[in-house]
Amino acid sequence: MADWSRLSIVHIVMHSNRMASSMTKKTIITCAITGSTMDALRLNPSVPVTPKQIADDAVAARAAGACVAHIHVRDPETGQPSMELDLYREVVDRIRESGSDILINLTTGPGARFAPSDADPMVAGPGSVMASPAKRVEHILALKPDLCSLDVATMTFPGYAFVNIPSHLEQMAAMIQDAGVLPEMEVFDLGHIRLAKDFLKRGVIKGPALFQLCLGIPWTAPATTAAMLSMTNDLPDGALWGAFGISAQQFPMVAQAVVLGGHVRVGLEDNIYIRHGELAKGNAQLVERAAQIVESIGSSVATPAEARELLGLSHKTAGATAGTRAIV
């Protein structure tokens, strides 16, 4: 990752054909706490694994300037990604009982991974994890976070396909919204935005429309100014959006998103380095760097209360619907 100074980032992004007049006055910083890849965990021991570690990192990210925590869970023994409700419950309970006002954004991505077996491509091979729409949102209905991701995308990753057929997404969207949770539509390419706009037009997803532009993931839209501009130009009028790049493009895409009027995401799910060759010591360090970039460009970092207002969630009380599990 390049060691971008504040001035160098500003210099790069100001060459965009949209200028700083597009910037939002308040920028929401989301911290993606742990993700689901084993490579990140293998390369950086700071990636949180246990529910306590994940919750503690979310609370620390809030103190550093994040107002949303995007959360996956892992098996505490193996570090492998998990869909276990009890793990989500412990993370959410720990955050809420800490008194932190950070908004909680739970993933619904797990349960859509298909890798055809070598012997018979009609049969799921090793690494496949497929689940019903109801199973994929089970934790959302039980825990009622402030918002949750909804991957409006079917695409190819190295080694497997990420399968989200429209009928499954429609079922998930209905259950999410019936639970009073705001879906954050994750889009990785222009075709995904077309599908999301169709959902909005047909009322499958109701406003406010919230998009997360996911850039640089193989094999989807690259983390470039041109790609971000193309995607933002195709968003529906009035949509609220954020964006992120992975690995070396995490911080440049923070700057680019702010200049174009979007919100930002950083965290160990997407990038494990604070600068070239230097591992991040934790999520809070990445959030602090993002906050510096946001403010150096001329925006300011939103508080959780301001984020709730921007997202249309001001009617929801921070920490509401806390679980009842005993925390030890």
The domain defined by 6-114+126-311 folds into: TIM Barrel (3.20.20)
Per-residue confidence at 317, pLDDT binned at 50, 70, 90? Answer: low
Tokens describing residue 279 = 């591992």
Per-residue confidence at 319, pLDDT binned at 50, 70, 90? Answer: low
Residue 257, exposed/middle/buried by CB under 10 A (0-12, 13-18, 19+)? buried
Q: Which DSSP category does 20 fall into?
A: G
Question: Residue 2: its pLDDT value, please?
Answer: 42
Question: Residue 131: its pLDDT value, please?
Answer: 97
Per-residue confidence at 318, pLDDT binned at 50, 70, 90? Answer: low
| Mean pLDDT to the nearest integer, 299-312 | 97
**Global confidence as pTM:** 0.91
Is residue 327 pLDDT above 60, yes or no?
no
| Mean pLDDT to the nearest integer, 310-322 | 70
User: If you average pLDDT over every residue of the chain, what do you get?
Assistant: 91
Write the CA distances from 47 to 40, 53, 225, 285, integer angstroms: 7, 9, 29, 12
Question: Residue 40: its pLDDT value, please?
Answer: 86
Per-residue confidence at 24, pLDDT binned at 50, 70, 90? Answer: confident
Is residue 323 pLDDT above 70, yes or no?
no
Is residue 228 pLDDT above 60, yes or no?
yes
Is residue 325 pLDDT above 50, yes or no?
no
Question: Residue 322: its pLDDT value, please?
Answer: 43
Q: What's at 21, amino acid-wise?
A: S
**DSSP tally for the chain: helices H, then strands E:** 12, 18
Question: Residue 3: its pLDDT value, please?
Answer: 44
For 229-255, write each residue's pLDDT tens digit: 999 999 999 999 999 999 999 999 999
CA angle 66, 69, 70 (to 5 degrees): 135
| Mean pLDDT to the nearest integer, 95-116 | 97
Closest to 189 in 3D by CA, of 152, 148, 237, 139: 152
Q: Which residue has the higher pLDDT, 39 or 70?
A: 70
Is residue 206 pLDDT above 50, yes or no?
yes
| Mean pLDDT to the nearest integer, 123-139 | 96
Phi, psi of 18 (to 5 degrees): -115, 140
Question: Residue 39: its pLDDT value, please?
Answer: 85
Is residue 178 pLDDT above 60, yes or no?
yes
